[in-house]
Structures are given as C-alpha cells and as structure tokens.
Amino acid sequence: MEDVSIYNSNGKRNGRTLDHLRHVESMATMPSGAGKIPRLNAVILEMYRRSIEDPAGFWSDIASEFYWKQKWGQEVYSENTDVRNGTISIEFKGGITNICCNCLDRNLESGISDKFALYWEGNEPGVDGSLTYRQLLERVCQLANYMKDIAVRKGDAVVIYLPMLMELPIAMLACARIGAVHSVVFAGFSAESLAQRIVDCKPKVVLTCNAVMRGSKIIYLRDIVDKALTESTGNGISIDTCLVFENQLAMKREATKWHEGRDVWWQDVVPKYPTTCSVEWVDAEDPLFLLYTSGSTGKPKGVLHTTGGYMIWTATTFKYAFDYKPSDIYWCTADCGWITGHSYVSYGPLLNGATVVVFEGAPNYPDSGRCWDIVDKYNVTIFYTAPTLYVTRYSRKSLRVLGSVGEPINPSAWRWYYNVVGDSRCPISDTWWQTETGGFMITPLPGAWPQKPGSATFPFFGVQPVIVDEKGTEIEGQCSGYLCVKGSWPGAFRTLYGDHERYETTYFKPFPGYYFTGDGCSRDKDGYHWLTGRVDDVINVSGHRIGTAEVESALVSHPQCAEAAVVGVEHEIKGQGIYAFVTLVEGVPYSEELRKSLVNAVRNQIGAFAAPDTIHWAPALPKTRSGKIMRRILRKIASRQLDELGDTSTLAEPAVVDQLIALGNSKI
Ligand code: WT7
C-alpha cells in the first residue's frame, strides 16, 4: 500500500503546531454518521472511507507488506454468524504466517539487522543494555530452541511472569516463533492470582526470574511462582519446569530458594542452544496469546488474540497513530503484563522495525524526573504513557509525538501534557482502546485533524464506532450513550479462553448486532468522541483494569468481613481510586489494625496495585427491597456528592444512607 506520510506537508519534522493543520480545509462527512467535520485531512479521509467501503481490499493491501508463507484466500472475511449476529469478522482465512518472523527475520532481511531493537533501562539509573535486531533474533532463537527441547509444542500455553527485563519481550517472541500461546501475567499479581491463571490455561512451562527491584523494594518473583505452583498442584495442575532468569542486579543465585528438579536457571541452559531456530508456521487464526483481564463479575477473563489479524492491526495502528518514521526512538512506559505492553512495547513497534525503550523501573524512582531523564538519555521522539507523571528540569527537545492511554484525559491534564511535556509542539494521540480490541480504535492521527483537549477524536481505519441508547438504538449526531462498535476489525479478540458463552453474553448480547465496549461516550457537534469512563463495574486504576467483584471477593474472604461493596472514585494521580464499603461480622469492632488487614487481604489475593485506597465502615449497605446493592448511591457517598444522592425511597432501609454518611465524616 502507498505509504502516506501524514504530516510532512510543510516539510518539517519538528516545530509543528496545531496551526499547521489549518491549511487542510476540506469539509467532509465521515461515513459513521458523525456529521460534518471541519478541516479533515483529505488523504486520511479517503483511506478511512476505503477501509469501510472496501475492507477486503484495504486490509489485503496492508497485509501484503508482511511475510506470509501462504497468502490468505480470496476473501479476508469470514462470516461469523453465530458470534456476531451476522456481522463480519476480519480474518485472513487460509493465510499461513508467523508474527515473530515478521518482527525479526523479515526486518533483518530488509537490512536493519544492526539497528537497535531494544534499549533497556534498568531500575537503577546508569544500569542499561541494548540488543540489535540481529542480537534479539539470536536470543529469541536460543530460548525457542530450549522450549522445543523440553517439548513445548505449537498450541501449548506458556506462562510468563517476568518484570520488564529484555527477557520479557524475548520470551513472548520465542513463544510466537514456535507457535506456543503465551500468557503474560503482570509481575505485580499475587501468587493466588497467578495460580488462578495457571489453573485456567494449564501451561507447559512457567518463565520467571528470581527477584526484581521495584524502586527501592525487592520482590521475590520465584517464591511467588513457587507458591502459585503449589496451589496449582492442589488443583490438579502439575508443572514440570520453571525456568528462572537470574536477575543478578536484584539477587544472586546463591540466595535464591530452589525447587530441585523443577526449577532451572535460564543462564545455565538457554545460552547453550543454537542462535538460529526454524519458524513454526501457523494459521492466521491460530492463537497467539491469552491475556487475562478483569470483568464486572466473576473470575478474570482470558482474552484470546489470534495471529494474522492482530499482527496487521498492531503494526498499522502503531504506524499511523504515532506517525512512525524509521529514525524514531520510541518509548511506551507500559509493562508487557498488560495489553499496552503486548501491542505497543513488543509487537506493534517491532513489526515496524522500530527502536524501543524498555524500562524496568518505576517512573518516580529515584525521583519524579526519571522519565524525562530517560527521554533525554535516549533522545526519545515518540512517548506513550498514561498521563500521570510530573515534569521538572529536563529538556525533552527530542519529543515529537505524545501518546496517552488508559483513562479519559481531562482537558486540563491534556493541556499540561501538550504545553509542558510537549512544549506546545507535539501532537497528542489520545488512544482509546481495550485489551479486547488488540489495538487502537479511536485515536487522533497526528496532523490529520485538529485536536480537542480531552477528546480521542475519530475512529481508526476500519472502525465504526456507534453510540446507542438504553434500548440499543443507534443515536446520530450530537449525543451521549453507550459506546459500541459496528462490524469488526482485524485486531478483535476471538473468544474468552474456555468460555465462549461468556464472550457472547458479555460483549454481544447487551446490544444485539454490536460489540459492546463497556464504556460511555458522547459525540459533539463536530463528530469528536469523548470517552466518559466505564458504565459497568470495572475500575481503572493507573491504567490497570480491576473488577469491583474481584476486590469484593478478596475482602469477603477475610474472616471478619461480612459484606463488601467496592466503587471507583476520582483520584488525582491514579485516575480512579478504589473505595470499599465494608460490613463487619457482628460483634467485631472497627479498628485501624483491621483496616490494614483487610487491605492486605486484597494485596495477597490480587496484588498491591488493587489495594483499596479507602475502607469505609458500613453497619449495613444500601439495598433495594430485592437485595440489590445500590452502587449509584455508594458512588455518590464515596465522592462526597451528598446533594446528588437521588431517589433513596426504593431502598429497603433508607436510614442506612445517613449512617454511612455519618461514619464517612468521622475517623473510624
Ligand atoms: C478500558 C480498557 C487499552 C490499554 C489500557 C487499558 C479505558 C483506555 C482510554 C482513553 C478514555 C480509556 C476504557 C476502556 N481507556 N484508553 N484513551 N480514554 N478511556 O486497557 O485494561 O483493557 O482497559 O480503559 O474504559 O474500556 P484495558
């Protein structure tokens, strides 16, 4: 496909301001019912139109730039009637490929073998490393060969529980190379959460490291895995091999606890294997990875992505939303334990042959200037983050595109990001998407249209967002309602692992004919999209998605907790904070100690990142006469919007509300 340079019309790479867009005067209508949009870039608009009117041609052209052992059939579509109520899912049916080959071998062949693929920045300033594309391929092949040798086969699951060492993307790519299905578990999850995921996907092997420093704290990852594996064995899952990377910066091997016969030192075995490894060719629809994410109810969902569509989607969204150029140095601060790290640390950038900064540490260690120190050190040109960081004394002159993700960015934060971080010269891509969507769905394309602070703007190629009302009827023009997607796109997840019924019920039943995102959204008179947050019981804490039900069940597992209700509240730094109403078992007195032990129950069962910010003692919870907890009221109490409680007359015991408010005003 023709490489359309989005915004080189003025011939300048830097120093662009919003004003330079003003020359694009074409008035046009987006075919999404969005209405008239001023000053859309005509080339981009034409591409968008084609992506909707001729998706087969559009995606075929893009996919042809990748390596396929065997091309897909005539049609890139397949009817997927049982799932999508007749809408289509974009699949490269019949295509045979491999995403690792496309990230590495294909790029090496194009002549970039000595280009840096990864710059690694450790937790401690001054500790760093790097790998060229050739070196990365060699490391990937060694690990792939080792895994083949211990009988990991195509289709087998591999659990990866690693911090942001280079070994994490290496491990993902090695799995992809041999057709194994990786399931990365964020290394902040507790042993119990890890065990739950291991029991669900039954991996052949677990890859981890002995320990990691996070800021000034040490975390013993191998011991957490050990505990998880003991628990998994109790559930009938036995794992023969746990491959442990010796992370010498955190802990020497002599100090590491060991399970003889099961635990194997990575450095003792992997480097002995050949640095070349043949590629396992897989079907475009073969699974690439599972990633567990929280829903509004029940246990975490294993979101399953397949190979072909995900590959095309992450590569294309990365290229256009960040206006990627081969000379860029790209840094995404996300951890590979989340979808952002899958799509925009590993696959998307590497498919484009980009140089990626991988950062092990915390953004505020040793101080709050760390991020900008890293930007200056590597001359980062594209910076992608959840916008909750602070800027101090650094120059940041290398930056040219900024990305934002994970939560609605409010207009004042947007202005800060634009004016302070980007010195009023870098476009901001506020990318709206989800674990399920594989990649960006609604996002500005730098220079394609004027930005509005706080709006994710318009859909990416091939995406047809619609806003529906309670009844599921599409609303046109200026409106607000539930955000759904009509039709499909290549990066869409294909199922929830082992629970296809839940996939249909959660995403396709609420509004028949559409994919339901779980988000609220409004559209303004110019057709811009404004995300307004989750409309279900999911909380977004610093870009980490947490189900209220999970936190509640962790709290209730505490012997002194009778009942719990968790809601999200606005949080200055984290976007949303976790606010828990707790009813104790009768006769148990409130105490500071008990408050801590409740918080610890959540840390142990889910992970520290899910720990409630507030425990609000509740003699009882407000419920309807049928026993349903009125979360709407709890949200108002939590955010102290006491004059907006609304109608409380349907409560079984309206007095409960006054009790709660009174307790909220006093300490314990
Ligand atoms: C939820 C998905 C996708 C990567 C990070 C989180 C919220 C995501 C934005 C944005 C407003 C956003 C939504 C979405 N979200 N990006 N740019 N503006 N809200 O992935 O854990 O799957 O969470 O994050 O509520 O549904 P995730």
CA 546 vs CA 183, 485, 551, 576: distances in Å: 18, 23, 8, 10
Q: pTM, whole model, 2 decimals? A: 0.90
Q: What pLDDT is attached to residue 10?
A: 33
Beta-carbon contacts of residue 500 (< 8 Å; ≥ 6 apart): 83
Name the residue type at position 436. E
Alpha-carbon 653 to chain mean position:
41
Higher pLDDT, 280 or 642: 280
Name the residue type at position 282. V
Ligand 1 centre to CA of 654 (Å) is 35
Beta-carbon contacts of residue 277 (< 8 Å; ≥ 6 apart): 140, 141, 142, 144, 145, 148, 177, 178
Q: What pLDDT is attached to residue 24?
A: 30
Q: Using an 8 Å Cβ cutoff, are 430 and 443 in contact?
A: yes
Judged against a pLDDT cut of 80, whether residue 15 lies above it is answered with: no
| Torsion angles phi and psi, residue 355, rounded to 5 | -95, 125
Q: Which residues does ligand 1 sit against, CB inside 6 Å?
A: 293, 339-340, 405-408, 430-435, 456, 517-519, 531, 533-534, 540, 543, 545
Which has the minimum average pLDDT: 60-74, 356-370, 407-421? Answer: 407-421
Kindly indicate the confidence band of residue 543, based on its pLDDT and cuts at 50, 70 and 90: confident
Q: Quick one: which atom of ligand 1 is closest to the CA of 533?
A: 25
Q: Mean pLDDT, to the nearest integer, of 614-626? A: 91
Ligand 1 centre to CA of 438 (Å) is 11
Looking at the DSSP bridge assignments, the partners of residue 120 are: 129, 358
d(CA 409, CA 667): 32
Mutate to test the pocket of ligand 1, among 347, 434, 542 (most ligand atoms within 8 A of CB): 434
Q: What pLDDT is attached to residue 628?
A: 84
pLDDT digits (tens, 9 = 90+) for 120-171: 999 999 999 999 999 999 999 999 999 999 999 999 999 999 999 999 999 9
Q: Mean pLDDT, to the nearest integer, of 314-343? A: 97
Q: Mean pLDDT, to the nearest integer, of 47-69? A: 93
Question: DSSP state, 473?
Answer: -
Q: What pLDDT is attached to residue 77?
A: 65
- Which one from 283, 536, 537, 613 is the annotated catalytic residue? 536
Mutate to test the pocket of ligand 1, among 338, 388, 433 (most ligand atoms within 8 A of CB): 433
Alpha-carbon 294 to chain mean position:
11
Q: Quick one: which atom of ligand 1 is closest to the CA of 443?
A: 17
Judged against a pLDDT cut of 90, whether residue 645 lies above it is answered with: no
d(CA 372, CA 392): 8
How much is the CA Rg of the chain, to the nearest whole Å? 25
Residue nearest (by alpha carbon) to ligand 1 atom 8 = 406
Residue 408 CB-half CA count within 13 A? 19
Ligand 1 centre to CA of 407 (Å) is 5
32-41, 146-155, 363-372: which has the highest mean pLDDT?
A: 146-155
Tell me the two tokens of residue 144. 């792939």
Judged against a pLDDT cut of 90, whether residue 598 lies above it is answered with: yes
Higher pLDDT, 652 or 59: 59
Residue 206 CB-half CA count within 13 A? 31
Burial class for 166, CB neighbours closer than 10 Å (0-12, 13-18, 19+) = buried
Residue nearest (by alpha carbon) to ligand 1 atom 21 = 545
Mutate to test the pocket of ligand 1, among 345, 519, 544, 574 (most ligand atoms within 8 A of CB): 519
Alpha-carbon 42 to chain mean position:
31
Q: Mean pLDDT, to the nearest integer, of 213-225? A: 94
Ligand 1 centre to CA of 339 (Å) is 10
Beta strand pairing call for 212-214 and 241-245: unpaired
Beta-carbon contacts of residue 449 (< 8 Å; ≥ 6 apart): 21, 24, 37, 39, 40, 41, 44, 457, 458
Q: Mean pLDDT, to the nearest integer, of 18-30? A: 31
Q: What pLDDT is attached to residue 389?
A: 57
Looking at the DSSP bridge assignments, the partners of residue 305 are: 289
Q: What pLDDT is attached to residue 457?
A: 95
Closest CA to 116 of 105, 104, 132, 103: 132
Q: What pLDDT is attached to residue 391?
A: 54
The continuous run of DSSP H or E covering 331 comes out as strand 329-332
Ligand 1 centre to CA of 535 (Å) is 12
Ligand 1 centre to CA of 459 (Å) is 15
| Torsion angles phi and psi, residue 63, rounded to 5 | -65, -25
Residue nearest (by alpha carbon) to ligand 1 atom 12 = 407
| Torsion angles phi and psi, residue 626, rounded to 5 | -90, 5
Q: What pLDDT is attached to residue 177?
A: 98
DSSP result, 225-246:
HHHHHHHHHHTT---SEEEEE-
3-state secondary structure of 608: helix
For this structure, is 373 an active site residue?
no
What ipTM is given for this predicted complex? 0.99
Judged against a pLDDT cut of 90, whether residue 280 lies above it is answered with: yes
Residue nearest (by alpha carbon) to ligand 1 atom 2 = 434
d(CA 573, CA 253): 37
Q: Mean pLDDT, to the nearest integer, of 513-522? A: 94
Q: What pLDDT is attached to residue 40?
A: 64
Higher pLDDT, 98 or 423: 98
Ligand 1 centre to CA of 616 (Å) is 27
Mutate to test the pocket of ligand 1, among 305, 342, 432 (most ligand atoms within 8 A of CB): 432
Residue nearest (by alpha carbon) to ligand 1 atom 17 = 432
Question: DSSP state, 457?
Answer: B
Residue nearest (by alpha carbon) to ligand 1 atom 19 = 407
Closest CA to 433 of 324, 547, 338: 338
Beta-carbon contacts of residue 356 (< 8 Å; ≥ 6 apart): 117, 118, 119, 330, 331, 332, 345, 349, 350
d(CA 617, CA 608): 21
Q: What pLDDT is attached to residue 18?
A: 27
Q: Using an 8 Å Cβ cutoff, are 405 and 340 in contact?
A: yes
Q: Mean pLDDT, to the nearest integer, of 270-296? A: 96
Q: Mean of the per-residue pLDDT values for the chain?
A: 89
Q: Mean pLDDT, to the nearest integer, of 366-387? A: 91
Residue nearest (by alpha carbon) to ligand 1 atom 6 = 406
Above pLDDT 70, what percent of the chain? Answer: 90
Q: What pLDDT is attached to residue 30?
A: 37
